[in-house]
Structure 1
Amino acid sequence: MERPSGYILLTSNLAASIEELGAGGSSEHQKLFFKEEFLIDDSKEVIAQAYIASKEPVRVIIAAQNYNLYAQNALLKILEEPPKHISFILLATSKSSLLPTIRSRLPIIDHREPLSQNPFPLALSSLSLKEVYGFLKELTRENPSKEETKRLIESLLFACKEESLPLRAQDLELFGRAIVLAEQFERPAHIFLPLLLLLLQRKKSVRPKN
């Protein structure tokens, strides 16, 4: 018999999706953890509840606007090897709120309403060192929030696709690490400097030769 595992549900409205799942609260066959920010203590409680023996299937539903980095790391093992009869449903408003290691363990279902992608502030077609310097200086002045920084990273990756810039596997890993650094409240300018220098290098590699 195949063991239940679960999935990740991306949603624009956490409360509405919880209601659609029929998850009004915790019960014998369902455990609900609905938080503004999912912290390490919440992970410990999830793990404790998941290991309570049950002969019937139990759904563990976790929903949060923000997921703490250390709280996610604490869940990795149990998501990979869930206890018997346990399935996990993780609700999030964006992929970037979850670590790549979390996303790799569960299938992702996207129920979000289509949103227009805000363009990255710099045009990659004419990107220069001078523009990179100005952008980083402006980032330092504005000091965007964690979520704003992650959205900027996503818009930069989208801009790369729009410009058909060739990104290698290690380049995509660099974008993944940038999301992690944003989660750790690293300074945005420090996050974007290696990304933009990388893209300058990639632009040179596709420049037409005379």
Structure 2
Amino acid sequence: MFANERGGILITSEIEERAREIEESLRPLRSVTFMRDDFKIEDAKEVIAEAYKSEENTKTLILGAKSFTVPAQNALLKILEEPPRNIVFILIAPNKSTFLPTVRSRLSLTQEHTQRTHEALPISLKTLDLSGLFAFVKENDRLKKHEAKALIEQLMHQAIHIEKLPLSTVQLEGFDKALRLIELNSRLQSVLVMVLMNFLKEVKRGR
């Protein structure tokens, strides 16, 4: 599957399904799968401990997550570059941007091209008012990090492709800033208000 004998990175929206398929394809050789929503430093330590358990035959460690924290990736760097004897790593995530360039440079990368579909959200950015803004924020203030990032991308898709709004520089930069803030663990409630207020101001100016 991967050109690099140390293993590789697989980018796919079907994380758990692909992990199971890889496990099946490797048999009778041993594999150990670490499946998480958000892969953290304690998960990286668990992986490293498993990697240093001696093996006579090849053992593949499969790390699947919707997001990998920066501390976790930094903890894995050395072992990815110099894995113990007979250890192979496969990292699976939905987006290439999840991984640090230093991680991507150590492993070959395979990207599955899957068509991402966006359904219309129950909010109109074109006619947004304060009550609609706060109702939407309240409904979506408890999402996990990967879900929050997906929601921001969905809002941007709705603005551009569904409602076909001529976005200003401020509005476009608001989406970019929102994704960065979510990655830094900012409160989703505050991030959503920041993004949506840009559209509320546009409505007010048009009246």
Q: TM-score range by the shorter chain?
A: 0.5 to 0.7
Aligned residues: 188
Which amino acid in structure 1 is aligned with residue 112 of structure 2? D
- Normalised to the residue count of structure 1, the TM-score between the two structures is 0.60
2:189 is aligned to: 189
2:153 is aligned to: 154
* 1:138 is aligned to 2:135: yes
Going from structure 1 to structure 2, the CA distance change for 1:87 and 1:79 (only over 3 Å counts) comes to farther
2:40–2:72: 8 Å Cα contact kept in structure 1?
A: no
1:60–1:88: 8 Å Cα contact kept in structure 2?
A: yes
Q: Report the CA distance between 1:156 and its aligned residue.
A: 0.9
Give the percent of matched residue pairs that are identical in Structure 1 and Structure 2: 22
Counterpart of 2:120 in 1: which secondary structure? coil
2:43–2:72: 8 Å Cα contact kept in structure 1?
A: no
RMSD: 4.5
In 2, Cα distance between equivalents of 1:20 and 1:116: 24
2:43 is aligned to: 42
- Normalised to the residue count of structure 2, the TM-score between the two structures is 0.61
* 1:180 is aligned to 2:178: no
Give the unaligned 5+ runs of structure 1.
none
Going from structure 1 to structure 2, the CA distance change for 1:134 and 1:73 (only over 3 Å counts) comes to farther
In 1, Cα distance between equivalents of 2:6 and 2:18: 21
Give the unaligned 5+ runs of structure 2.
none
Q: Report the CA distance between 1:192 and its aligned residue.
A: 0.9
Ranges of 4+ aligned residues in structure 1 off by more than 6 Å: 24-29, 52-57
1:6 is aligned to: 8
> CA deviation digits over 1:138-190, x for unaligned, max 9?
13543543145444212112224423636699555413224326xx4x54331
Going from structure 1 to structure 2, the CA distance change for 1:20 and 1:140 (only over 3 Å counts) comes to closer
Name which of 99, 102, 109 aligns with 1:102: 99
